[in-house]
Amino acid sequence: MSAVANSFGVSVKKGWVRDGILRSLAREPSTLTALASALGVSKSTVNYHLANLLARGAIEIVDTRVGRGGVVSNEYSLKEGSLVILPSADEEEGELTSLEEVFDVETLLWGTASELPEGGRFELLLYKLFLRLFKISKSEHRTLLEGYGYRAGSMLSQAVRGRNARETLRELADEMGKREIASGQVIEIRGTRTGVLVLEKCLGSSDHPGYACRFLEGFIRGIVQPKHGAGQTVERLDVDLPACYLAVGRPRHASMDWLKEAVIHHPLKLVGGSSEEGGEGGEGEELER
């Protein structure tokens, strides 16, 4: 992992997530699941910070619900008397402008759009966006990151070859691995127009789905849609596995629930961009519909 990626990961764990939680709870109560989704980090990361904030008396549990199967869900709120300084609307507008400037400058340095930049370039862009992103509390971090990822992908869509979405997906997985953007593998679903792109080490991060994952989700959408049409979608599969699973193509030909079950029971284990059973990652794995 590069120094930039390492700094990025350390920053997340040492304060930015905590600040994001406090700012969210200063506006309205929320649950662990909702906070993890809004901040784009894992539930375990949010749970760690919630436990610390509870112990310090900064937040409190204001409601507890028991769902199906006896699963307990707590709703958290900022404790009365706790102080959180929120940025003004003008300050947030200024930070949004700074984000645009950072994106424009960094992508200008990528040079030609005929090939994908090395992963380090993406890491540097994401790190600089990240430093400003957490000064913005009213905007949706996840949406911003996916949006910048999409713009980066659309700029580079011609750098990835492929006569159709499936070929593009294979080529993209291969190129992302070569350039150390992420370790990728494609699971192809026979009888459908959908493939599942499995990503590990998204820009050096092992936190799935984290900020790097959200950026790359938008990036892949930005590669695929300009080349093969807006009907090609990129949908994240919510599976409890240590990687990102993205359904790419036309999911209406295979339900999301069916795809989730397929990948959960598929014995695919990624090792450096290839599967233990299937050989080189560029060939992909196939599942029967």
Go through the domains of the chain in sequence order and give each one's CATH number: 3-78 (1.10.10.10), 87-289 (3.30.1380.20)
Per-residue tokens: 239: 């599976």
Concatenate the DSSP letters of all residues of the chain into one string. --HHHHHHHHHIIIIIHHHHHHHHHHHS-EEHHHHHHHHTS-HHHHHHHHHHHHHTTSEEEEEEEE-GGG-EEEEEEEPTT---PPPPHHHHHHHHHHHHHHHHHHHHTT--TTSPPPHHHHHHHHHHHHHHHTT--SS-HHHHHHHHHHHHHHHTGGGS--SSHHHHHHHHHHHHHHTTS-EEEEEEETTSSEEEEEEESBTTB--TT-HHHHHHHHHHHHHHHHHH-TT-EEEE---SSSSEEEEEE-GGGS-HHHHHHHHHSS---EETTEETTTBSGGG-EEE--
| Rounded-to-integer distance, Cα 246 and Cα 217, Å | 8
Residue 272 in this model has a pLDDT that exceeds 60: no
The greatest distance separating any two alpha carbons of the chain, rounded to the nearest whole angstrom, comes to 60
Confidence at residue 216, expressed as pLDDT on a 0 to 100 scale: 95
- Which pLDDT tens digit goes with each residue over 77-128? 988 877 665 566 666 677 788 899 999 999 988 876 788 999 999 999 988 8
Question: Binning pLDDT at 50, 70 and 90, where does residue 250 land?
Answer: confident
Residue 223 in this model has a pLDDT that exceeds 90: yes
pTM for the whole structure: 0.67
Residue 5 in this model has a pLDDT that exceeds 60: no
Side chain identity at residue 118, one-letter code = E
Residue 131 in this model has a pLDDT that exceeds 90: no
Contact 36, 45 (CB under 8 A): yes
Confidence at residue 42, expressed as pLDDT on a 0 to 100 scale: 80
| Rounded-to-integer distance, Cα 173 and Cα 183, Å | 7
Side chain identity at residue 212, one-letter code = A
